[in-house]
Amino acid sequence: PEGIRRMGSPEAVFDQRLRVLAAIENLSKPVIAVLYGYCLGGGLELPLACHFRLAAQEGARIGLPELDLGTVPAWGGSARLVRCVGRDHALDLILRAKKISGPEALRIGLVHEVWPLAELFERAHALANELAAMPALAVAEMLRCIVGAEGKSLAESIADERRAVLTTMGTPDQQEGIRAFLEKRKPVFNRGS
């Protein structure tokens, strides 16, 4: 409590943390979270704002068990969890204050991949390299469209996608992608565009 008082009102602290998580979620580059050990409460709310989540096969304890403390998730965790795993799994996890394993998190769609702890960071690094090799502008446009689609009508989302197509059309990366396809080779995109 003393540390929170020095940072300002509880509302100001919560608002600041919500802004940080929204900024992560809306970055133009994909953000990868690695979950191992205890990822509970705020320790899960941060990964829920990330675009990719990888978990340890053993030893991970994942959940939003705030009800055990007589409170509720404070930084958008319940809303993001519903979007991630659906209403039924979110209700089960939150209302029962469940702490689940990496494999269970994979089963319900909370994480994208599960690896033995000894391989987890290597796999996250490989995913980062895979994503970094993609055309940066197209990735940024797709992140904007996909993250932004939540809460929009289908027509609005299609309009966003149309803008993304027009933005990426004719770029050096798009030309390289088409050339590579025609030449039956893997494209080499300009990582800085």
- The predicted-structure confidence for 101-147, as pLDDT tens digits, reads as follows 999 999 999 999 999 999 999 999 999 999 999 999 999 999 999 99
The single residue of 58, 66, 104, 150 carrying the catalytic annotation is 66
Domain limits for position 46: 2-132
Clarify whether 66 is annotated catalytic: yes
Average pLDDT in the chain: 93
The string of DSSP codes covering 155-184 is: HHHHHHHHHHHHHHTT-HHHHHHHHHHHTT
Residue range 86-105: mean pLDDT, rounded? 97
pLDDT band at 150; cut points 50, 70, 90: confident
Clarify whether 45 is annotated catalytic: yes
In a domain, 193, yes or no: no
Residue 40: which CATH number?
3.90.226.10
Global confidence as pTM: 0.88
Mark whether 178 and 140 lie in a shared domain. Answer: yes
Mark whether 127 and 158 lie in a shared domain. Answer: no
Cβ neighbour number for residue 168 with a 10 Å cutoff: 19
The single residue of 25, 45, 104, 119 carrying the catalytic annotation is 45
